[in-house]
């Protein structure tokens, strides 16, 4: 049936009302159930309407080609139009393929990176929450070291033994009654590497300075603790201590 429709140019003749009543009825019964022929018929009707409109506006010029048979003229116009539609469909398919091959993997990678960042942030928040909960708990048997200053390099250092579950080390520093103002405490490892600096320290009711240090920042070894008067200026050294940390 399709070969006969094409050979006899049924669609072009139908649009131009050149079919007999029997041929017209038979073709209508066919294209109402055939999607391919129905689409070709619609395309031909749209093309015909465009040609008629262009002719009424005087946009079409006569040429020697008008002497060719009317059937061949219609087919010469129709096939380029169908070719243009096919090219458009190919371009759409290429665009869809490009999106699937390049854009979708790119978006998936971005989603994976965002998910990884969210997981990392969640782990960091959980660690902070655990640390806060741990610090909020009461701690018993907190190690306390009373620092004794000495100018003898051979004198033994002040010792502090920290167990595996110790979270803080408390330093008690006695001050002479004449010392006043605010103080600066500098803690450094062997070789001068700074560990901790505490500023604007004040004496307590017992006339001493009390400092609590996180145990996790102190490893086994010998540390130097320098105490200076910060205010009134200038900064002047008050005492220097040696502290030895022992961990299991």
Please indicate, yes or no, if residue 67 is contained in any of the structural domains.
Answer: no
pLDDT at residue 67, rounded to an integer: 44
pLDDT at residue 185, rounded to an integer: 94
Domain at 195, CATH number: 2.60.40.10
pLDDT at residue 68, rounded to an integer: 44
pLDDT at residue 79, rounded to an integer: 55
Q: Residue 27 and residue 35: Cα distance in Å, rounded?
A: 13
The tokens describing 192, both together, are 């001068």
Number of domains in the chain: 1
Please indicate, yes or no, if residue 107 is contained in any of the structural domains.
Answer: no
Please indicate, yes or no, if residue 102 is contained in any of the structural domains.
Answer: no
Total residue length of the chain: 248
Q: Residue 107 and residue 121: Cα distance in Å, rounded?
A: 21
How many Cα atoms occupy the beta-carbon half-sphere of 244 within 13 Å? Answer: 6
Please indicate, yes or no, if residue 218 is contained in any of the structural domains.
Answer: yes
* DSSP-assigned states of every residue in 22-87: HHHHHHHHHHTT-HHHHHHHHHHHHHHHHHHHHHHTT-----GGGGS-HHHHHHHHHHHHHHHHHH
Beta-bridge partners for 209: 173
* DSSP-assigned states of every residue in the chain: -HHHHHHTTHHHHHHTT-S-HHHHHHHHHHHTT-HHHHHHHHHHHHHHHHHHHHHHTT-----GGGGS-HHHHHHHHHHHHHHHHHHHHHHHHHHHHHIIIIIHHHHHHHHHHHHHHHHHHHHHHHHHHHHHHHHHS---S--EEEE---S-TTSPPEEEE--TT--EEEEEEE--TT--SEEEEEEEETTS-EEEEEEEE---TTSEEEEEEEGGG--SEEEEEEEEEEESSSPEEEEEEEEEEE--
Please indicate, yes or no, if residue 77 is contained in any of the structural domains.
Answer: no
pLDDT at residue 243, rounded to an integer: 93
Please indicate, yes or no, if residue 204 is contained in any of the structural domains.
Answer: yes
pLDDT at residue 201, rounded to an integer: 93
pLDDT at residue 170, rounded to an integer: 94
Please indicate, yes or no, if residue 223 is contained in any of the structural domains.
Answer: yes
Please indicate, yes or no, if residue 207 is contained in any of the structural domains.
Answer: yes
pLDDT at residue 188, rounded to an integer: 95
Q: What residue ranges of the chain have pLDDT lower than 70?
A: 58-90, 94-102, 131-137, 150-153
Q: Residue 113 and residue 72: Cα distance in Å, rounded?
A: 61
Give the range of the structural domain holding residue 191, as residue numbers without chain letter.
144-246
């Amino acid at each position: 049936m399709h070969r006969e429709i094409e050979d006899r140019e049924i669609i072009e003749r139908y649009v131009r009302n050149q079919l007999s009543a029997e041929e017209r009825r038979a073709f209508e019964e066919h294209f109402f159930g055939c999607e391919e022929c129905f689409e070709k018929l619609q395309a031909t009707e749209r093309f015909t309407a465009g040609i008629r409109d262009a002719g009424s506006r005087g946009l079409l010029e006569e040429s020697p080609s008008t002497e060719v048979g009317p059937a061949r003229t219609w087919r010469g116009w129709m096939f380029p139009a169908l070719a243009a539609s096919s090219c458009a469909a190919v371009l759409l398919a290429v665009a869809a393929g490009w999106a699937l091959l390049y854009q979708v993997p790119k978006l998936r990678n971005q989603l994976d990176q965002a998910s990884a960042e969210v997981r990392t942030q969640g782990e960091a928040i959980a660690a902070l929450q655990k640390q806060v909960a741990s610090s909020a708990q009461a701690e018993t048997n907190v190690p306390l070291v009373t620092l004794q200053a000495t100018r003898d390099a051979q004198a033994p250092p002040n010792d502090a033994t920290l167990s595996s579950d110790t979270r803080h080390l408390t330093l008690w520093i006695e001050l002479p009654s004449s010392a006043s103002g605010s103080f600066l405490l500098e803690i450094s490892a062997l070789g001068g590497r700074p560990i901790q600096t505490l500023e604007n320290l004040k004496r307590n009711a017992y006339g001493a300075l009390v400092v609590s240090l996180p145990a996790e920042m102190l490893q086994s070894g010998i540390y130097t603790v320098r105490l200076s008067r910060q205010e009134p200026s200038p900064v002047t050294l008050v005492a220097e201590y040696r502290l030895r940390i022992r961990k299991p």
